[in-house]
Copies of this chain bind each other. A is one copy, B any other.
Amino acid sequence: MTISIPTPPRQQRPSANATRERILDAALDLFADRSYEGATTREIAARAGVTQPLLNYHFHSKDDLWSSAVDRLFSQFNQALNARRDGLHGVDDLSIAKLMIREFIYFSAAHPQLHRIITQECKADNARMDWLVQTHVRPLYDTAVSLFSQLVARGEVPAIAPTNLYYILTGAGATMFVLAPECRRLSGIDPMDPGAIEAHADAVVELLFGPSASTRAIRTTHEQTRGTEMRSAKGHL
């Protein structure tokens, strides 16, 4: 009688690329939550399921890890905006503008880290902020200002300076998701609920462009394009 010893399952080493991505995920979450100084490399490693020295293997330093995570985040944001824009054919400029603003709100809900990291690095004499503004924020700001100038010139939105519109819109669109834990406690509403996101996008667009039937029509188009079933946004007033 022979006892068959089962061959130990060949230990599959996860691909280095997958590990890198897991580290970046954990790093982004913790950097956004606890700020650069407050996030420890040991905690990032623990969340990613690896040991701490591995971070210094895949990335030169904590700084390198931070900028890599931020690079990927802004890349995803630009991809989302471009994909939305390229998916539109035969749509008028005004509708495109509304859809771009809605896309920013959807992304802010899915990735509140974007606004959180900008806010946390926005302090005097901060090299990371200089890099962040020059590399990633500046192109977005220029695009937005150009868009707002056209909208104001055509009378589609109130005559407000583009810079003010930029901060009104980013603040109004992102704050509820950035402060989601607070919002849940204060109101009982979960801002991450798809219906709540849709309701917030409706509110921001209505406030900026005024009530119009086209908004609803565009939003419906948008839902169909995304393939996501959105619940009714009513019922929590």
Among B35, B160, B162, which residue has its beta carbon within 8 angstroms of that of A34?
B35
| Complex: A162 Cα to B200 Cα, angstroms | 11
Is A138's CB within 8 Å of the partner chain B? yes
Which residues of the other chain, B, contact A70 by a CB distance below 8 angstroms?
none
* Chain B min CB distance to A98 (Å): 15
Contact A119 B163 (CB under 8 A): no
Q: Evaluate contact between B175 and A171: CB separation under 8 angstroms.
A: yes
Point out the residue from B118, B119, B160 that lies within 8 Å of A207, measured CB to CB: B160
Say yes or no: A129-B182 contact (C-beta < 8 A), given A160-B203, A168-B207.
yes
Q: How large is the interface on A (under 10, 10 to 19, 20 to 34, 35 or more residues)?
A: 35 or more
Which of A1-9, A85-93, A184-192 is the contact stretch? A184-192
Copies in the complex: 2
Whole-angstrom distance between the alpha carbons of A130 and B186 in the complex?
A: 11
**Contact present for B133 and A182 (CB under 8 Å):** yes
Q: A50 in the interface, Cβ–Cβ < 8 Å?
A: no
Type the 1/0 row for A1-30, where 1 means its CB is closer than 8 Å to any CB of B: 000000000000000000000000000000
Shortest distance from the beta carbon of A128 to any chain B beta carbon, whole Å: 12
For the residues of A in contact with B, the DSSP-based class is helix
Residues of B within 8 A of A160 (CB): 203, 206-207
Verify A175–B167 contact, CB threshold 8 A.
yes
The answer to whether A176 and B186 have CB atoms under 8 Å apart is no
- Which chain B residues border A168 with CB–CB below 8 Å? 172, 175-176, 200, 203-204, 207
Q: Which of A223-237 contact B (CB under 8 A)?
A: 236-237
Would A123 and B34 count as touching, CB distance under 8 A? yes
> Which B residues lie within 8 Å of A123 (CB)?
33-34, 181
B33 touches A164 (CB 8 A): no
What B residues does A122 contact at CB under 8 A?
178-182
- Residue A174 lies at the interface, judged by CB distance under 8 Å to chain B: yes
Q: Which residues from B are CB-within-8-Å of A206?
A: 158, 160
- Are B38 and A236 interface neighbours, CB within 8 A? no
Contact residues in B for A164 (Cβ distance below 8 Å): 176, 199-200, 203
Give A179 Cβ to nearest chain B Cβ, in Å: 5
> Can you list the 3 inter-chain pairs with the closest CB atoms, starting with the nearest?
A171-B175, A37-B38, A171-B171
A-B CB contact pairs (8 Å), 24 listed: A34-B35, A35-B35, A35-B37, A37-B38, A119-B119, A124-B181, A126-B181, A129-B181, A137-B186, A158-B207, A160-B203, A160-B207, A161-B236, A163-B186, A163-B236, A164-B199, A165-B203, A167-B179, A168-B172, A168-B200, A169-B172, A170-B175, A171-B171, A171-B176
